[in-house]
Structure 1
Amino acid sequence: MRIDRRTALLAGLALPLAARAQTPAPATREPHRLVTPDPTETIDLWPNGAPGAPARLPVEAVKERSTDPAYNDRFVAGIVRPRMAVFRPARPNGAAMLIAPGGGYSWVVVDKEGYEMARWLATRGLTAFVLFYRLPGEGWAAGADTPLQDSQRAMRLIRHHAGRFRIDPKRVGAMGFSAGGHVCADLVARFAAPVYTPVDAADRLSARPGLAAPIYPVVSMTAPTAHAGSRKNLVGEHATPALERAHSPHLHIGADVPPTFLLHAEDDGSVPVENSLLLRAALLAAKVPVETHLFPDGGHGFGLRLSRGKSVEGWQDIFWAWGVKRRLFA
């Protein structure tokens, strides 16, 4: 039977997500430098393009920072098609984790706080989704709410496709690092905030994580506690007190916030440990279960690989034990 072009296009519209072309994961033009193969499965967040696009779209660019052949350390900026890179476990245990890497809202880290954590979780049975969210300073109409649009949408899509990934919709958590910790904390605090117009059936689902783990997170937008770079990129150097308050998650914690795991090194020279302490105090005041771990050394941005040889080494095992105790991981 002969199939004309029009028939083929119409058939394509009916294909499930798994069969449609999705935007590939961010990649450099140097595949020979990859220590571990990049994920091949991705999910675009917005079927008709991200909302509030600027007249002049940014251009996505990926840069490699590592000069060590033993590992990659890339970052991406100019994200126009926000998406999730999917890491499927060999034996899914029904749980999933949304991961928001850091980057000070100047870029989004790819490997250190994204793929490395995702692989670690996948080896333990969790399906991991690394979120490449849009950056608030790149002209999007939602401004400081742009990353929250993407994180809410990501959580809803994970639940919407739970059957495809053999996930229990009630066992979907969120974690983030540094500015990605702010993405996570903001999602925790404002998971139900109406920051975008619903686009499909997925948006009828809850964006509330089953549990959350902001790791060395940016939380406050008020100096001197705020991380200066993240504050500048999210709300601007001359933000009003009202704008600072609107985007400081610890000021928006309610009783419906999920159980939260906090971890920070006290010698963090980039994001003061007071950020985690402010969030902890707010969670305790709202009677939300919270477990907090502070370590004397570790600095900032240690992820998994750079924690070795420091007091913070092995933090992921503590995190895993907490997730098991909360009955989400296993």
Structure 2
Amino acid sequence: MKPWALALCLLAAAGSVHAKTADWQPAAGYTQIPIWPGTAPDLQPVPGPETTNRETKNLIGGLPVTALTNVTRPTMTVYAPQGKNTGAAVVVIPGGGFQILAIDLEGTDVCDWLTSRGITCVLLKYRVPSVPYVWQTDSRPHNLSLSVPSLQDVQRTMRLVRFHAAQWRVDPHRIGVLGFSAGGFLVAEISTNFERRLYPPVDAADKESARPDFAMPIYPGHLATDDGKLNPHVPVSGKTPPTFLVQAEDDYVDGVNQSLVYYAALAKAHVPAEMHLYAHGGHAFGLRPTPNPITRWPALAETWLGTIGMIPAAGQ
């Protein structure tokens, strides 16, 4: 395992950090919006208050990684586009093995990129730890299960973004999801389980559709069984949205087969899909620059978004 991937594991499993503060807050000028009007459904007890851990020893892209844990109050933070508004919006879902959230590496860094391209970014801080996933055990019989509390949060966020589309100057037919690692699995889950209601409606927003108009799972996990088949809990169909996949062949945390199996299922269902596999890159690289060609995947994603009509195509 790469040192920086191990660092994220240690953050989740042992709290090996150099700085701790309570309750993460976005940059000045932005506000976290609770996604539930009261207590989140099916709330599971977690050990202690929400904690922000900043790892300064093992850097990724020369920068520290900020990780959240013990999240019981899920929120979304809306980042308005810079310059010309394309009308598109992306719900960004950080990874962290359902134990932590890599809130900058796979969250705020991503919003900086999207908003600079005229795309509204909605950063989701979902509940972790999230049952049934337990990083600390090696038995892992739960590896293919739905991450129900986290998926409830994603469903609710998708509906809220559509409900507030006019207010936030977003086209309700151009709302997508982008997630990393465990967040990439959540992207696949919402792409295939958007009609499966996991919680009772709580207000008018829950009348909206939870289906993404496009999906970008980046180095996703939990999609392939041990015998190389698709996780049965992500039932790909013709209704699954157009999908863009990125993974490295030397990803030894989740493994390149995760993207291969999902892509094959998308192709079989005639879902427009684009997959980019690279020899080097490992796991948990986010958008931070590295010497490897995989670091240029965001430019490919922008081109893809143009080809499917979510943002203006290059040159327009």
TM-score, normalised by the number of residues in structure 1? 0.77
CA distance in 2, matches of 1:45, 1:30: 20
Residues 138 and 219 of structure 1: CA distance in aligned 2, closer, same or farther (over 3 Å): closer
Task: Return the match for 2:109 from 104, 116, 123.
Answer: 116
Residue of structure 2 in register with 1:50 after alignment: 40
Distance 1:61 1:323 in 2: 35
Shift of 1:39: 6.0
Distance 1:204 1:168 in 2: 17
Change (3 A) 1:28 1:121: farther
Shift of 1:66: 2.5
Which deviates more, 49-58 or 166-175?
Answer: 49-58
**Partners in 2 of 1:144 and 1:82 — Cα distance?**
15
Task: Decide which structure has the larger Cα Rg and report it.
Answer: 1
Measured in 2, the distance between the counterparts of 1:122 and 1:187 equals 23
Q: Which one has the bigger helix percentage?
A: 1
1:160 is matched with which residue: 135, 139, 163?
Answer: 163
| Distance across 2 between alignment mates of 1:174 and 1:272 | 21
Residue type at the aligned position of 2:309: R
Among residues 296, 299, 303, which one is paired with 1:314 in the alignment? 296
Alignment of 1:94-243 (within 5 A): 94-135=87-128, 136-137=130-131, 144-220=147-223, 222-223=225-226
Identify if the C-alpha distance between structure 1 residues 143 and 176 changes in structure 2 by more than 3 Å, giving closer, same or farther: closer
Identify the residue that residue 78 of structure 1 maps to in structure 2: 70
Q: 1:297 to 1:195 in 2, by over 3 A?
A: same
CA contact (8 A) 1:77 1:106 kept: yes
- Quote how far apart the aligned CAs of 1:134 are: 1.0
Is 164-173 or 143-152 further displaced after alignment? 143-152
Task: Tell me which residue corresponds to 1:8.
Answer: none
Quick one: distance in 1 between partners of 2:95 and 2:227? 20
Secondary structure of the corresponding residue to residue 65 of structure 1: strand
Once the two structures are superposed, residues 189-247 of structure 1 have per-residue CA deviations (whole angstroms, 9 ceiling, x without a partner) of 11111111011111111111110000010133633779xxxxxxxxxxxxxxxxx9554
**Matching of residue 272 in structure 1 with residue 243 in structure 2:** no
Residues 210/270 of structure 1: CA separation in 2 closer, same or farther (3 Å cut) = same
RMSD between aligned residues: 2.7
Aligned residues with identical type, % of pairs: 37
Q: 1:132 to 1:224 in 2, by over 3 A?
A: farther
The worse-fitting range, judged by mean Cα deviation, of 157-166 and 89-98 is 89-98
Task: Assess if the C-alpha contact under 8 Å between 1:102 and 1:176 holds in 2.
Answer: yes
Instruction: State the partner residue of 1:89.
Output: 81
Q: Distance in 2 between matches of 1:221 and 1:65?
A: 30
Q: Secondary structure at the match of 1:173?
A: strand
Higher strand share: 2
**In the alignment, is the contact (CA less than 8 A) between 1:182 and 1:214 conserved in 2?**
yes
Contact 1:78–1:138 at 8 Å: present in 2 too?
A: no
Q: Match for residue 309 of structure 2?
A: 327
Q: Provide the TM-score with structure 2 as the length reference.
A: 0.81
- Tell me the amino acid that sits aligned with residue 85 of structure 1: T
How far apart are residue 58 of structure 1 and its match?
Answer: 4.9
Q: 1:163 aligns to what SS in structure 2?
A: coil
**Unpaired segments of 5 or more residues in structure 2?**
1-18, 134-144
Displacement of 1:174 after TM fit? Answer: 0.4
Stretches of structure 1 that go unaligned for 5 or more consecutive residues are 1-26, 227-243
Post-superposition offset of 1:55 = 6.1
Alignment partner of 1:289 is 2:272? yes
